[in-house]
Amino acid sequence: MPIVSMRQILDEAAKGGYGVGAFNVNNMEQIQAIIEAASETNSPVVIQASRGARAYSNDRFLYHLLLAANELYPNVPFAMHQDHGNSFETCKSAIDMGFTSVMMDGSLKEDGKTPNTFEGNVEVTRRVVEYAHPRGVTVEGEIGVLGGVEDGHGAGGSGLEHLTDPDQAVEFAERTGLDALALAIGTSHGAYKFSRKPDGSVLKMDLLIRIHSMLPHTHLVMHGSSSVPKDLQDIVNQYGGKLKPTWGVPVEEIQLGIKNGVRKINVDTDSRLAITGAIRKVFTESPEKFDPRDYLKPAREAMKKVVALRMTEFGQAGHGKDYKAIPLAEMAKGYADGRLDTRPSLAAAR
């Protein structure tokens, strides 16, 4: 199976009523952890690279590592996704390289820090859609602004400052024709999302449910949705780390989201914690070791374990062989003839 569009993966997830984890990568071990977890649990998956990851790896490395993953695991349907593109040019360069999906995060200006205007967001997102869809490539957008900063991207602050407005979300979908929409419902990027277990006052699942009822044909995306589990924090701290107490998004809240239109769940921090804990353990217990494989192998195993667990919890496990890849050229035809058009006015009439 070739690398597929994210739209196909999310459409299948909507049909099957499950969510799909989107996991971030920067290097070979992380790609191996995800593709092995997906193969073993028979899961479709989204593998994503941020701008920071593309810069870190000089992106050709990542691109070819992902081709290798596809070559070695042809049984795993996966999309190659640009996470948080900050401009038309960033998204265009990903599409031109061969990514099958891009996020145009026009909720922030090109500096990746300053909240954008609604009109500015509509304009840049629509421009990316106009470039991507004739090539069969999926577009995710964002409306409202998430809290925190990750890879130098983010407005900072709490996730409650710029929540998604439901009417604006509908207008945004209508005017851009995008495939998937990331919502700001109180979550933040990074490890420090909540200072206590989140309840309805800080994690606005009611807002998400309302938006899904108004926008049933657009796939919803939860960003900043690592669960930051206590056991992974404890391993880091047990072996010399100094993480402050913190809470992520509980899996049961994500599962409630999945029942209400969430099809893509972004997870990065959990992988980072798993890797760092495993490496710290080797360094502490065996300080005489100096072969990088001695700590990168357990790091890869630890990440694979948490990724496989999330795949089972999100429901994508078991769905890797449900469908055949639709070539991007075929997706492009679907956009051109309206079959894949998700604009609320058209989708409702279908």
Nearer to Zn ion, 128 or 340 (CB): 128
The Cα–Cα gap between 74 and 118 comes to 41
Number of C-beta neighbours around residue 89 at 10 A: 10
User: Tokens 């900063």, residue?
Assistant: 149
Token pair recorded at residue 289: 């070791």
Q: Which of 51, 81, 223, 272 binds Zn ion (CB under 5 A)?
A: 223
For the bound state, the minimum distance from the C-beta of residue 185 to Zn ion, rounded and expressed in Å, comes to 13
> Could you say whether residue 263 binds Zn ion (CB under 5 A)?
no
Total residues contacting Zn ion by CB under 5 A comes to 1
User: Tokens 């439901």, residue?
Assistant: 166
The one catalytic residue among 83, 151, 179, 268 = 83
> Could you say whether residue 162 binds Zn ion (CB under 5 A)?
no
Q: Running DSSP on this structure, what letter comes out for residue 322? A: S
Residue range at the interface with Zn ion (CB under 5 A); choices 107-115, 216-224, 273-281, 322-330: 216-224
Q: Running DSSP on this structure, what letter comes out for residue 149? A: -
Residue range at the interface with Zn ion (CB under 5 A); choices 129-137, 221-229, 309-317, 326-334: 221-229
Known catalytic membership, residue 83:
yes
Nearer to Zn ion, 84 or 319 (CB): 84
For the bound state, the minimum distance from the C-beta of residue 241 to Zn ion, rounded and expressed in Å, comes to 24
DSSP output for 209-239: HHHHHH-TTSEEEE-S-----HHHHHHHHHT
At residue 4, what is the residue type? V
For the bound state, the minimum distance from the C-beta of residue 189 to Zn ion, rounded and expressed in Å, comes to 6
| Angle in degrees, 0-180, between the axes of helices 88-97 and 118-132, rounded to the nearest 10 | 20
3-class SS of residue 128: helix
Nearer to Zn ion, 204 or 223 (CB): 223
User: Tokens 């933040």, residue?
Assistant: 188
Phi and psi dihedrals of 191, rounded to 5?
-80, -30
> Could you say whether residue 264 binds Zn ion (CB under 5 A)?
no
Nearer to Zn ion, 189 or 212 (CB): 189
For the bound state, the minimum distance from the C-beta of residue 84 to Zn ion, rounded and expressed in Å, comes to 6
Residue range at the interface with Zn ion (CB under 5 A); choices 128-136, 157-165, 223-231, 318-326: 223-231
3-class SS of residue 267: strand
User: Tokens 């357990």, residue?
Assistant: 298
For the bound state, the minimum distance from the C-beta of residue 154 to Zn ion, rounded and expressed in Å, comes to 8
Nearer to Zn ion, 30 or 41 (CB): 30
**Residues labelled as active-site residues:** 83
Task: Point out which residues bind Zn ion (CB under 5 A).
Answer: 223
